[in-house]
């Protein structure tokens, strides 16, 4: 499975297909992809939502999803390849 690379506005959904998968839907194009997650991580107590990208050269691979109201996710991204991290604030969609 390839890592998630796209920019845009996305909706994250728990996949109904497999317990260890997430569906990421591009709200601009309507395209949905399924990505595997490695583990769950504790929700953020500071009320912020945050995405972490692994950076390899000019490439950004989504590696972590931090949520303020639920446990987040660690995705398969750069793995053991040398990389740096980039944090991006995420907005929570209106209910």
d(CA 55, CA 64): 12
Across the range 32-39, mean pLDDT stands at 86
d(CA 20, CA 38): 7
> How confident is the model over 62-77, as pLDDT tens digits?
888 888 888 899 987 7
Across the range 20-38, mean pLDDT stands at 84
| Torsion, CA 61, CA 87, CA 48, CA 68, rounded to 10 | 30
Name the residue with higher pLDDT: 18 or 87: 87
Across the range 33-55, mean pLDDT stands at 87
d(CA 4, CA 53): 10
Q: At residue 95, does pLDDT exceed 60?
A: no
CA angle 61, 67, 41 (to 5 degrees): 75
Indicate the DSSP class of residue 86: E
Across the range 21-45, mean pLDDT stands at 86
Across the range 21-44, mean pLDDT stands at 86
**Residue 2: predicted pLDDT:** 47
Q: Considering the chain, what is the average pLDDT of its residues?
A: 80
**Start-to-end CA span in the chain (Å):** 31
């Amino acid at each position: 499975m390839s890592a998630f690379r796209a920019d845009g506005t996305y909706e994250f959904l728990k996949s109904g297909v497999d317990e260890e998968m997430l569906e990421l839907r591009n709200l601009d194009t309507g395209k949905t992809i399924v990505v595997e997650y490695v583990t769950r991580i504790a929700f953020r107590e500071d009320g912020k939502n945050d995405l972490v990208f692994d950076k390899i050269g000019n490439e950004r691979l989504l590696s972590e999803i931090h949520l303020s109201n639920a446990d987040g996710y660690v995705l398969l991204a750069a793995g053991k390849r040398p990389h740096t991290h980039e944090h991006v604030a995420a907005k929570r969609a209106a209910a």
